[in-house]
Amino acid sequence: MIEYNNKMPIVVRLIHILYDYCPTGGLCHIVTDDNNIDNDSLKFVINCCKEEENLKRIENEICIAICNIMLDFTLEQRAALFYFMEEGYYYIDNDLLDENAWIYFWKDNEFTKSEYFLKWNETLGKILINSMNHCG
């Protein structure tokens, strides 16, 4: 099972807030929409947010927070969190995304790490290949 990180609910909540104010994902869309969750992409978004023309954008601080927190996760944890959200669990009350919910989800789906990566192969391929996207 992929290890739970107690900052995962924070990322989920921040992503929900981001889309409340910026339905396209704004500067963070290459992470939150395109699943570019490698270190280079996260750092790219942070640097993009720090560019002069982007400093006053409404989503700026939220995008930086999302990416900074995700840098503390392993690539496996990032991919697993996005899979968790894409499978329909994103709508839950964020307070329910605790370690017990995480364990239950993965136990219920009976995925090993290798089975998980095979199941999400297409998206993981994008993660590894598309680290050079442009700011949106």
Query: In the chain, which ranges are continuous DSSP H helix?
Result: 8-21, 29-32, 39-49, 60-70, 75-86, 99-109, 113-119, 121-129
Domain ranges for the chain: 8-129
Would the pTM count as exceeding 0.85?
Answer: no
Per-residue pLDDT of the chain (136 residues; tens, 9 = 90+): 788 899 998 998 899 899 999 999 999 999 999 889 999 999 999 999 999 999 999 999 999 999 999 999 999 899 888 888 876 554 455 556 778 777 777 765 555 545 555 555 555 555 444 433 434 4
Taking Cα atoms as reference points, which of 95, 41, 88 lies closest to residue 63? 41
